[in-house]
Amino acid sequence: MRDSAAADKRVEALRRLYPEASLELVFDNPFQLLISVILSAQCTDARVNQVTRVLFSRCPTPQDILALSQEELEEMVRPTGFFRNKAKAVRACCQELVDRYGGRVPGTLEEFVRLPGVGRKTAAMVLGNALGVHEGIAVDTHVKRVSQRLGLSSAKTPEKIEADLMQLLPREDWTWFSNALILHGRRVCKARKPDCQACGLAPWCPYPDQA
DNA sequence: CTCCCGATAT
DNA sequence: ATATCAGGAG
């Protein structure tokens, strides 16, 4: 077992800094969050929100998205990048929702990760933030980087990092924790130039201060 | 491991 | 000008 007392200090500090951490994606229901997260890869949340505002007003349901031609859908999601892949994933995913789940999203992580274009990260994020079902911790690039710098995990793969993080706090806090690490990774503990000066976690962080 | 697209940091 | 960045599929 690792130094869980030290890890607790960092988790507590994170809670003080981001007590109400939530996603910056705008959504009205679990279906909308699912599509938003699929579109969010390598794209700012602000841009995803611009695209989904139009997309969801025209297509509130999976059935409505399936009624679009592939080309129309591609044009609508184009600004988010990887638009052919994303349009394909969104369409395939909507098809599954209609065929297997009556046009709604499933309720377990196991079912989620079987959806086309949905891996553990997307599944945990949607389940936790839209349904309050905390079955996992969404490990994206921010969570990975921040966890490693803070010394909360020395694992390399998202699955192992997730397992390490799950040990640190109770299930009902998993979604908050992921959200907080993401916010911290975006605002302070950035990939290129981490702002260690301004970091509220610095007193407990083993990561070497660059400047 | 490569591919996918385009925004943004360097 | 160019390298980096993200998540999932193949």
Which tens digit of pLDDT belongs to each residue from A103-115? Answer: 999 999 999 999 9
**Residue count (chain A):** 211
- What is the total count of domains within chain A? 2
Q: How confident is the model at residue A208 (pLDDT cuts 50, 70, 90)?
A: confident
Q: How far is CA A169 from the centre of its chain?
A: 18
Residue A81, nucleotide of least CA–C1' distance: B5
Which tens digit of pLDDT belongs to each residue from A87-108? Answer: 999 999 999 999 999 999 999 9
- Does A76 fall in a domain? yes
Catalytic positions of A: 121, 140
Q: What is the pTM of this model?
A: 0.93
Q: Of A131, A163, A191, at which residue does a domain stop?
A: A131
Same domain, yes or no: A14 and A76 = no
Q: How confident is the model at residue A210 (pLDDT cuts 50, 70, 90)?
A: very low
Same domain, yes or no: A83 and A162 = no
pLDDT at residue A193 greater than cutoff 90 = no
Residue A196 annotated as lining a ligand binding site: yes
Residue A78, nucleotide of least CA–C1' distance: B5
Rounded to an integer, what distance in angstroms lies between the CA atom of residue A49 and that of residue A65?
A: 17
Which tens digit of pLDDT belongs to each residue from A4-56? Answer: 777 789 999 999 999 999 999 999 999 999 999 999 998 989 899 999 999 99
Rounded to an integer, what distance in angstroms lies between the CA atom of residue A169 and that of residue A60?
A: 36
- Does A88 fall in a domain? yes
Residue A94 annotated as lining a ligand binding site: no
Same domain, yes or no: A8 and A60 = no
C-beta atoms surrounding A10 within 10 Å = 19
Q: Which domain holds residue A103?
A: 30-131
Chain B positions with a protein C-beta closer than 7 Å:
4-10
Which tens digit of pLDDT belongs to each residue from A110-152? Answer: 999 999 999 999 999 999 999 999 999 999 999 999 999 999 9
Same domain, yes or no: A101 and A155 = no
CATH number at residue A188: 1.10.1670.10
